[in-house]
Amino acid sequence: MQLNIKIFNNGFWWDCKFNFFKHICFSSLSSTGSDIRGMALSGCCFGCIFTPDCRLEHEEAELTVTAFRNALIRRQPAPGLIFHSDRGAQYCSNRFQSLLKGTGGLQSMSGTGCCSDNAVTESFFGTLKRELVHCCSFSSRGEAQSRIFHYIEACYNRQRRHSAVSYQAPENYERLFFNRAA
């Protein structure tokens, strides 16, 4: 079977005309690699806030659509969104492309061998696995989902300090940024 996959150019590369918090969304997909097999994680990052979606999905395209839809609801991006991801087939699926097009967004994809383009989400998944997934034993998939969601929402976004944002928690950094801009 031959796949007809459309690869999109890297469409942003830190263009200063974009408001980082409202215009650029990074995304990636990762497996947990833990004792709970078959669990995939997908998430979107607007600015510094990571919007998670972790569940048992065999269909990666469905997971990425759900994660992006949830991020759109939560973050309400400005028109002209640039959605940046790796070149995974799930981001090229007709369903995902229809959703992105419906937002008026543009697709941007990392070039071959340019892993630093999507460092925001790759770093997030590495941190999540290092600080929670690989050091815990989950009794069920439901428990894994619940604990991962809690880690992201209560710890990663609200408490954990990040060197990339002046050693502040992402939600605090964004609050200060928008207060200064007002």
Residues 12-28: pLDDT tens digits? 444 434 445 555 677 77
Q: Would you tell me how many other CB atoms lie within 10 Å of the CB of residue 175?
A: 12
| 164 falls within a domain | yes
| 60 falls within a domain | yes
Mean pLDDT over each residue of the chain, to the nearest integer: 75
Given this model, what pLDDT does residue 22 score?
55
Residues 28-46: pLDDT tens digits? 777 665 555 556 777 777 7
| 69 falls within a domain | yes
| 10 falls within a domain | no
| 109 falls within a domain | yes
The more confidently predicted of residues 170 and 4 is 170
| 17 falls within a domain | no
- Total domain count for the chain? 1
Instruction: Report yes or no on whether pTM surpasses 0.85.
Output: no
Given this model, what pLDDT does residue 159 score?
93
| 96 falls within a domain | yes
| 35 falls within a domain | yes
Residue 11 has pLDDT above 60, yes or no: no
Instruction: Give the closest residue to 144 by CA, choosing from 28, 26, 33.
Output: 33
The more confidently predicted of residues 150 and 79 is 150
Angle, CA of 103, 86 and 133, to the nearest 5°: 105
Residue 5 has pLDDT above 50, yes or no: no
Range of the domain at 100: 22-181
* CATH code of the domain in which 38 resides: 3.30.420.10
